[in-house]
Amino acid sequence: MKSFPIPRPVRVLLACALWSALSAFGPSGGAAWASGALADFDKQLRAWDRDVGDIDRRIESGRTGSLEERDLRQRLKAIVDAAALERDEAQKQAKQSKGLLDSLGPPPAEDAPAEADAVKKRRLDLAKDLADFEGRVKQAGLIIAKADQATAKIS
């Protein structure tokens, strides 16, 4: 039986879709998987950063021909496309987390009665999720900017 490799942008899209589906299970189901997804994102981010750096160094060497430059440009485009998918999904998740956090309203004032422990915990979890997603947006944006700069160096 012949196997067909799945392109990286499609794998990222599938992972994002799976994340969306699992996050629907609430704080216990989605949160456990989210820590794994964050580790996967960090691993992917390091790989993108390494690849863009390697490509940039190759371009800077000045020893590339037109065929290699075309290949490097395609590799950079694939990285940009995958990072853009990740960024867009993280923006969507950040918006959802912010909406949920906003639905809780502001935390009670110091002189007001304390809120229930479950609400307090949920507020902290949502704030952490929001910070994580916003961080992913920024990190993916940085990879895109680095790849765009490297692409601009190709003659």
Q: Report yes or no: 101 and 123 within 8 Å, Cβ to Cβ.
A: yes
**Is 81 buried (19+), middle (13-18) or exposed (0-12) by CB count in 10 A?**
middle
Please report, rounded to a whole number, the percentage of residues in the chain having pLDDT higher than 70.
75
Token readout for 72 is 């490097």
pLDDT score for 7? 61
pLDDT score of 22 more than 60:
no
pLDDT score of 83 more than 70:
yes
pLDDT score for 29? 38
Q: How confident is the model at residue 39 (pLDDT cuts 50, 70, 90)?
A: confident
Nearest Cα neighbor of 42 from 113, 144, 132 is 132
Q: How confident is the model at residue 24 (pLDDT cuts 50, 70, 90)?
A: very low
CA–centroid distance for 127 within its chain: 17
Q: How confident is the model at residue 104 (pLDDT cuts 50, 70, 90)?
A: very high
The residue ranking higher by pLDDT, 7 or 79, is 79
pLDDT score of 146 more than 80:
yes
